Amino acid sequence: MDTVRNNQDNHEVELVCEDCHHEGVREWEKCMKNPGHHHFYRYKDLTIHDLPAEWRSEENLQFVKDVGKRTVRLRLDFTSWERPDHDPFAKVRGTDATRMGTGNVYDDEVEVEECMFDDCPVTPKPHNVVTFNLSTAKHVIYNDEEAEETTVDFFYDCVGGEACDNHKECKKRMVAAWGTEVLWTDKVKDATLMRCACHDLDIFNKFKFRNAKLRLPREKGEISFIVSHPHGVAKQVTFGHVHKLLRMEQEEQPVVESDGNVWFRRSFTKALYNMDTCPGTSGAAVFSFTHGHKEDGITHALHNKCCQTCCGSSKQFNGSNVGHVHTREHGLALEIFGGSFGKRGRFEIDMWKGEFYRRFGGFLMELFRGGKSKGEGEE
């Protein structure tokens, strides 16, 4: 079996101590992992020319932009004493050092309920909030104590100050939410599902998007990307390829299921990829679509590691402790999403964004169905 080695416990959370915006910018400027950040594209300014040449189209650009709408920055100013001694943030337990990571919001179990915050600045009371689920890495959000101190920043896409031509309008678009509790968590998979609340009852209507067509080359193609908040700065996009998918030793054999007349295989997996990441990317969703290779596939994963090597190679990759792959058994076209060949010989996948996130939500539900309930089995 292929083996993966961590050169060290390289989490990808940004740890700062004072003003998180200004310190995040300073960390970005002096970053040693990706000096200059040449392969990072600012989400707010992303254009068709920034996409990899083999799948450069307006439809694919819109797809990436729509996925990015659900990517959020996570900020918390408290580290729980319950973190064990070997935890990467054990040295700041009980302090107000600011940590920043990334989360991804989806449409499962969205509800409107009465505001639960005792010190809520919104008046008068009672009033309602919308509650929703968010996925991230466990080393970003460890338990309920940390969830309750977490701010969730939607639409944090502005570089700020003089660097932005329309900073006031950018600030108006930003929306804040807050964590309320950890629903599920798993140390081995390094994943956390957190419940959040937002006073903007219209927040999910801002995610509405039209039907999208992914356009892949007929012979072979791959769409792999990560949207995140590296160093806690404005949202960025990186592109690349999945290098290798490896089975998790503790998982059962792949399950073959039928979706209409289409057969596919699902299993949890570890993923290695070359999409660039930095501290602050931990918890971001990793999305990959492949066509025309040995088997067509769709991979979801949660980013949580960097600097991993594989199979005796000295080359380093970024990676996820857990992912979910849908692979076709017979190398057929991706009919799961209504695929067809276009006039120019390019494979088109017609896919509703809502359906895409339904499948992403299904990945998270299966992931946490086997996870520990909060607080259970921790060291």
Burial of 81 (0-12, 13-18, 19+ CB in 10 A): exposed
Percentage of the chain lying above the pLDDT 70 cut: 67
Per-residue pLDDT for 244 more than 90?
Answer: no
The top-scoring range by mean pLDDT among 193-202, 294-303, 315-324 is 193-202
The alpha helices in the chain, defined as continuous H runs, are: 20-29, 58-68, 144-147, 167-173, 353-369
pLDDT for 372 equals: 45
Q: Give residue 5's pLDDT band: very low, low, confident or very high (50, 70, 90).
A: very low
Q: Give residue 26's pLDDT band: very low, low, confident or very high (50, 70, 90).
A: confident
As a whole number of angstroms, the longest Cα–Cα distance in the chain is 62
As a whole number of angstroms, the distance between CA 379 and CA 372 comes to: 13
In the predicted model, what is the mean pLDDT of residues 233-259?
69
Percentage of the chain lying above the pLDDT 90 cut: 31
Domain segments of the chain as ranges: 4-13+209-373
pLDDT for 331 equals: 35
Lowest-confidence region among 10-14, 127-131, 198-202: 10-14
Lowest-confidence region among 90-99, 155-164, 255-264, 287-296: 255-264
pLDDT for 313 equals: 59
| Token pair in block for residue 129 | 């909030």
Instruction: Quote the crossing angle between the two packed helices 353-369 and 58-68, to the nearest 10°.
Output: 40
pLDDT for 245 equals: 78
As a whole number of angstroms, the distance between CA 30 and CA 48 comes to: 29
The DSSP secondary-structure symbol of 360 reads H
Per-residue pLDDT for 135 more than 80?
Answer: yes
Q: Give residue 285's pLDDT band: very low, low, confident or very high (50, 70, 90).
A: very high
pLDDT for 283 equals: 94
Phi, psi of 54 (to 5 degrees): -70, -15
How does pLDDT run across 147-196, given as a tens digit for each residue?
Answer: 999 999 999 987 765 556 665 666 778 899 999 999 988 888 889 999 99
The number of beta carbons lying within 10 Å of the beta carbon of residue 88 is: 14
CB-based contact 11:282 (threshold 8 Å): yes
As a whole number of angstroms, the distance between CA 113 and CA 129 comes to: 6
CB-based contact 266:326 (threshold 8 Å): yes
For 177-229, the DSSP string reads EEEEEEEEEETTTTEEEEEEEES-TTGGGGG----EEEEEESS-EEEEEEEE-
Residues β-bridged to residue 263:
258
pLDDT for 222 equals: 80
pLDDT for 186 equals: 86
pLDDT for 337 equals: 43
More confident position, 309 or 75: 75
Q: Give residue 327's pLDDT band: very low, low, confident or very high (50, 70, 90).
A: low
CB-based contact 100:16 (threshold 8 Å): yes
Per-residue pLDDT for 333 more than 50?
Answer: no
Per-residue pLDDT for 269 more than 90?
Answer: no
Question: Residue 377: left (phi > 0), alpha (psi -120 to 50), or beta?
Answer: left
Lowest-confidence region among 85-94, 195-204, 297-306: 297-306
> Which residue, among 75, 27, 69, 20, has the nearest Cα to 46 in the 3D structure?
69
How does pLDDT run across 75-126, given as a tens digit for each residue?
Answer: 998 999 999 998 888 889 999 888 899 999 987 789 999 999 988 888 788 9
As a whole number of angstroms, the distance between CA 310 and CA 1 comes to: 11
> Which residue, among 288, 337, 357, 297, has the nearest Cα to 135 in the 3D structure?
357
The number of beta carbons lying within 10 Å of the beta carbon of residue 34 is: 16
| Token pair in block for residue 72 | 């959020």
Per-residue pLDDT for 329 more than 70?
Answer: no
Sign of the Cα pseudo-torsion (311, 317, 321, 323, in order) = negative
Angle 184-188-189 from CA coordinates, rounded to 5°: 65
In the predicted model, what is the mean pLDDT of residues 31-46?
90
pLDDT for 352 equals: 55
CB-based contact 147:312 (threshold 8 Å): no
In the predicted model, what is the mean pLDDT of residues 268-284?
88
The top-scoring range by mean pLDDT among 3-17, 39-53, 302-316, 347-361 is 39-53
Q: What is the dihedral of CA 113, 118, 124, 127, to 10 degrees?
A: 0
Question: For all residues of the chain together, what is the average pLDDT?
Answer: 77
In whole angstroms, what separates CA 366 from the centre of its chain? Answer: 16
